[in-house]
Amino acid sequence: MYNPRFEKKAFKKEVEHNVKTLYRKTVDEATPQQLFQAVSFAVKEAIIDDWIATQNQFKKDDPKTVYYMSMEFLMGRALGNNLINMTAYREVKEALDEMGIDLNAIEDQEPDPALGNGGLGRLAACFLDSLATLGYAAYGCGIRYRYGMFKQKIENGYQVETPDNWLKDGNPFELRREEYAKEVRFGGNIRVEYDDATNRTKFVQENYESVLAIPYDMPIVGYGNHHVNTLRIWDAQAITDFQLESFDRGDYHKAVEQENLAKTIVEVLYPNDNHYAGKELRLKQQYFFVSASIQAAVAKYKRTHDDIHKLPEKVLFQMNDTHPTVAVAELMRILLDEEGLGWNEAWDITTKCCAYTNHTIMAEALEKWPIDLFSKLLPRVYQIIQEIDRRFIIQVREMYPGNEEKVKKMAILYNGQVRMAHLAIVAGFSVNGVARLHTEILKHQELKDFYEMMPEKFNNKTNGITQRRFLMHGNPLLADWVTEKLGTKDWITDLSLMSGLKEYADDSKALAEFMDIKYKNKERLADYILKHNGIEVDPRSIFDVQVKRLHEYKRQLLNILHVMYLYNQIKEHPEMSFYPRTFIFGAKASAGYIRAKEIIKLINSVADVVNNDRSINGKLKVVFIEDYRVSNAEIIFAAADVSEQISTASKEASGTGNMKFMLNGAPTLGTMDGANVEIVEEVGADNAFIFGLSSEEVINYENYGGYHPQDIYHNDPDIKKVVDQLVDGTYSHGDTEMYRDLYNSLLMNQGGSKADMYFILKDFRSYAEAQKKVEEAYKDKEGWARKALLNTACCGKFTSDRTIQEYVDDIWHLDKIQVEVDETEE
């Protein structure tokens, strides 16, 4: 599809013009960063026309709009993605080539916007891509953090965090929209007044601090349809009038406080994955972006509608986990206090507008705010939550008379805490999990009481990923091959068509082509590794990859212990046949998560020993890729032979990396956890390597005990050897204490946590056996190619286009938009 807006001659002129007006330079004189800016502004110019056309279409059609409320949007670089979705990548690449500019090098100048931690934030980004591509009206609502996810350096094997100053050179794709600023208030007290004129009680917040929320809009370009949605992220600014007033009154302190509040509130993304820290500043962040977004949504609605009761016909707030759950109370506050509605009317509207997605069952990730802190920071919102809770408890008592246990288990306010998940479930009309297994566990374990009381709210929406970024952009060679084989590009917006590749599963020529592309991508990754790690890896070896956040439940420790085991095997049996392997890791550990950091150090220590042992003839290599992020992820997925998805069954809600590997033709080596279950269902058990305890077995052990890792340690000499090597100095230059904590964690109960609570030793043997099967399978070149190709062919279900369509059909009920563009202009 050719986009005439990017007609080469005009585009080149535009770039030259931008370099000149922005930097007073010629293209030859400009730095790569300046060229990136100049090219991006030229691309933005074209996007803006579609953006305006989309907004005009919205005005005409007045569609229902989803507001995707999320603390995180892990967008990744915009330039390449925008070019792809504008269907202009090729023309622009050629135009730039002709100017002597390498588009790839220019793309590398863009900092990764990393306003998210991992899966949850990246899912939000994929969803925005799909919403625009499918032609639905949507806003992403979030925070414009000054510093996103930290940059990771590895120094002497240890993770070192450095700040991610992503806005240093400015963000060419954003628009500051001061005219839509909103005030957000914190703290103070609530004065209750009786208004004789209206016969109503009024709640007036006094002595509060406030900040001004300023929106920055980023275009979200749909693929080839001229549809451009908006990601609106909020910056904070001190309210200057107020400040002056304070100075006048001599209240210097207050003015400075407000200045500080504004600065700190958006300063940094909390770098926790699947862990809840309970910091006051985080609650401020939550209320800040939620309040601003809801005020803006209600104001926008009111500009063209006069009956607030009909808000649910046009507006939907999807809460990405519990982080934006204050939305419920904030909407109630606006309806009660600003719109003057009664409780029942307001509740009716709110519960039709709010829906909640759960992303984890990990107890430590559940948000519970101390009532003290919560009520001080958000006094009016807290009053409203009290009333929601009071009414809800009446319902519970009606339904389960005399059952005070239920009340305790289900209340929103309990034991001095506000339980955000309970609030989200009570006020949302929809509660969804993110993979079939996860939703079943929610219904029958974690949220059982709620499911029994309100089963109609519960539904599953298995996650998905966008093929535009993770195939077209990340793996252009395979993308072109798929197009050629299918004889159409339609897979770009209809991934189910990939099943057409199945007919090549027994075609030797096609299989050879497929593996040749994989080989080229492995060379590209090998170059990256040489450049960034100084390690030479052989693209003919098996690239076995585990990239994701570092967390004990994801079991990177199991992977590296197995590498240690293989190394022992090779050393003990030098004659043994062994297919060369490269184990590739990439993972950030949350800054305060000590054990996760120990695991990173261990991986790097094992890498040092193994990579430098000449006696094993390079049969085994271990690579830890520094600063794993969206941009290098694209290169890594394209080059993987094996996809490691080895979480303790029941712990990984879905996973989405697993889908990106599958799309790129890497079979899964994994447990029956999260979406792995559905991946195996689609591709067939023969084309995956499954091992380990089932989720039921894990849950049974957790509930009834009976697992003793020491027995395994004492009865399996290979396992014992590997575990002992954690404390015998093999990987620590003789230091026996460096990995003592990891050793203890596997064998001893410690404080609240059980020995080997993630069942690493329990699953070790079956993991090693599955790994052996991988090796055997890989030796059969064509057999492997077949498995790899079938993974790509069977990935259709895992597009986020499918996920979004399900959200639309079952929860959001949005109307599709057809953006009309003035063709004469083209």
Q: Which of 231, 26, 6 is nearest to 116 (CA)?
A: 231
| Residue 432 binds to ligand F58 (criterion: CB under 6 A) | no
| Residue 120 binds to ligand F58 (criterion: CB under 6 A) | yes
Distance CA(435)–CA(361), nearest Å, equals 12
CB 222 within 8 A of CB 85: yes
CB of 357 to ligand F58, least distance (A): 7
Neighbouring CB atoms inside 10 A of 636's CB total 25
Distance CA(572)–CA(584), nearest Å, equals 24
Give whichever of 127 and 504 is closer to ligand F58, judged by the CB atom: 127
133, 656, 792, 803: which is the annotated catalytic residue?
656
Q: Which segment (93-101, 181-189, 414-422, 651-659) binds ligand F58 by CB under 6 A?
A: 651-659
CA distances from residue 44 to 11, 18, 54, 144 in whole angstroms, order as listed:
12, 12, 15, 19
Q: Which of 67, 159, 158, 68 is nearest to 116 (CA)?
A: 68
| Residue 119 binds to ligand F58 (criterion: CB under 6 A) | yes
Distance CA(381)–CA(378), nearest Å, equals 5
Within residues 260-279, the interface with ligand F58 by CB under 6 A covers 272-276
Report which residue type is found at 121.
G
Q: Which of 286, 375, 582, 654: binder of ligand F58 (CB under 6 A)? A: 654
Pull the structure tokens for residue 76. 């990744």
| 656 catalytically annotated | yes
| 60 catalytically annotated | no
> Tokens 């289900």 identify what position?
410
CA distances from residue 737 to 593, 598, 710, 713, 726 in whole angstroms, order as listed:
18, 12, 20, 19, 9
| Residue 133 binds to ligand F58 (criterion: CB under 6 A) | no
CB of 276 to ligand F58, least distance (A): 6
- Phi, psi for 757 (deg, rounded to 5): -65, -15
Within residues 441-480, the interface with ligand F58 by CB under 6 A covers 463
Pull the structure tokens for residue 394. 């009446």
CB 247 within 8 A of CB 255: yes
12, 468, 549, 651: which is the annotated catalytic residue?
549
Give whichever of 71 and 560 is closer to ligand F58, judged by the CB atom: 71
Q: Which of 45, 139, 113 is nearest to 83 (CA)?
A: 45
| Residue 420 binds to ligand F58 (criterion: CB under 6 A) | no
548, 588, 601, 651: which is the annotated catalytic residue?
548
> Tokens 């809770």 identify what position?
389
Distance CA(492)–CA(86), nearest Å, equals 13
CB of 533 to ligand F58, least distance (A): 26
CB of 384 to ligand F58, least distance (A): 24
| 359 catalytically annotated | yes
Q: Which uninterrupted H or E stretch holds 441?
A: helix 436-441
| Residue 656 binds to ligand F58 (criterion: CB under 6 A) | yes
CB 61 within 8 A of CB 96: no
Sign of the CA dihedral running 688, 693, 696, 699: negative
CB of 122 to ligand F58, least distance (A): 7
| 554 catalytically annotated | yes
Q: Which segment (118-126, 226-234, 257-265, 786-794) binds ligand F58 by CB under 6 A?
A: 118-126
| Helices (H), ranges, 266-419 | 280-304, 311-314, 326-333, 343-353, 371-377, 379-399, 404-410
| 350 catalytically annotated | no
Q: Which segment (112-120, 556-564, 619-627, 761-769) binds ligand F58 by CB under 6 A?
A: 112-120
Please give the sequence-ordered ranges of beta strands (E in DSSP) within 738-815, or none if there are none.
Answer: none
| Residue 582 binds to ligand F58 (criterion: CB under 6 A) | no
| Residue 430 binds to ligand F58 (criterion: CB under 6 A) | no
| Residue 653 binds to ligand F58 (criterion: CB under 6 A) | yes
| 660 catalytically annotated | yes
Give whichever of 205 and 432 is closer to ligand F58, judged by the CB atom: 432
Give whichever of 93 and 275 is closer to ligand F58, judged by the CB atom: 275
CB of 712 to ligand F58, least distance (A): 27
| Residue 695 binds to ligand F58 (criterion: CB under 6 A) | no
- Contact pattern from residue 657 through residue 676 relative to ligand F58, giving x for each residue in contact according to CB under 6 A and a dash for the rest: -----------------x--
72: Cβ contacts below 8 Å, ≥ 6 apart = 115, 116, 117, 120, 121, 124, 142, 269, 320
| Residue 123 binds to ligand F58 (criterion: CB under 6 A) | yes
Buried b (16+ CB within 10 A) or exposed e, 20-53: eeebebebeebeeebbbbbbbbbbbebbebbbeb
Which residue minimizes CB distance to ligand F58?
A: 119
Per the rule left: phi > 0, alpha: psi between -120 and 50, beta: everything else, 669 is: beta
Pull the structure tokens for residue 91. 């023309």
Report which residue type is found at 151.
K
Buried b (16+ CB within 10 A) or exposed e, 548-570: bbbbbbbbbbbbbbbbbbbbeeb
- Contact pattern from residue 493 through residue 532 relative to ligand F58, giving x for each residue in contact according to CB under 6 A and a dash for the rest: ----------------------------------------
232, 438, 554, 802: which is the annotated catalytic residue?
554
| Residue 148 binds to ligand F58 (criterion: CB under 6 A) | no
144, 227, 284, 359: which is the annotated catalytic residue?
359
| Residue 130 binds to ligand F58 (criterion: CB under 6 A) | no
| Residue 652 binds to ligand F58 (criterion: CB under 6 A) | yes
Distance CA(760)–CA(692), nearest Å, equals 9
CB of 653 to ligand F58, least distance (A): 4
| Residue 678 binds to ligand F58 (criterion: CB under 6 A) | no
Give whichever of 125 and 570 is closer to ligand F58, judged by the CB atom: 125
CB of 317 to ligand F58, least distance (A): 18
* 3-class secondary-structure state, position 183: strand
- Contact pattern from residue 379 through residue 418 relative to ligand F58, giving x for each residue in contact according to CB under 6 A and a dash for the rest: ----------------------------------------
Q: Which of 265, 396, 412, 434: binder of ligand F58 (CB under 6 A)? A: 434
Q: Which of 117, 229, 318, 687: binder of ligand F58 (CB under 6 A)? A: 117
Q: Which segment (99-107, 231-239, 654-662, 755-763) binds ligand F58 by CB under 6 A?
A: 654-662
| Residue 655 binds to ligand F58 (criterion: CB under 6 A) | yes
CA dihedral 89, 93, 94, 97 (to 10 degrees): 180
| Residue 118 binds to ligand F58 (criterion: CB under 6 A) | yes
CB 159 within 8 A of CB 600: yes
Distance of CA 669 to the CA centre of its chain: 22
Interacting residue ranges for ligand F58, rule: CB under 6 A: 117-120, 123, 272-276, 359-360, 365, 434, 463, 652-656, 674
Q: Which residues are catalytic?
A: 359, 548-549, 554, 656, 660
